[in-house]
Amino acid sequence: DLDLDGIPILYIPGNAGSGRQVRSMGAQSAQDFDTLQAKTGNGPQRITFFAVDFAEELTAMSGSAFAAQIRFVNHCVQEILRLSQQAWAKRGKRGLLPRSVVLIGHSMGGLVATGVLALPSYATG
């Protein structure tokens, strides 16, 4: 069972990038959360990081690969929200129920994130 109790963030790597790049963001945000928690007694809402990994695919030169990544990321967003809703229900409907996912893209990953916003199946929120 996944304990998804934070704000969901999906990292999208750039051309020939790796989903493993998200590790430093996750580590730094956890450290910052703990520091704020220690100083104030209550910190900001936790963050749950997710990442897509396209196996270092070269998307800058392929329109079809780029389009496939956009569709895949859109599917990932829907799945993250579904899993978050299940986790929220298991917690007795306590805590945060995410209704959106923050997308962070590096280079071409940012263009993929922008492409998701243009899909007919994109749900605002």
Length, in residues, of the chain:
125
Strands in 47-51's sheet, in edge-to-edge order, are: 47-51, 7-12, 102-105
Residues acting as catalytic residues: 107
Backbone angles phi, psi at 89, to 5 degrees: -65, -40
In terms of Cβ atoms closer than 10 Å to its own Cβ (0-12, 13-18, 19+), residue 12 is buried
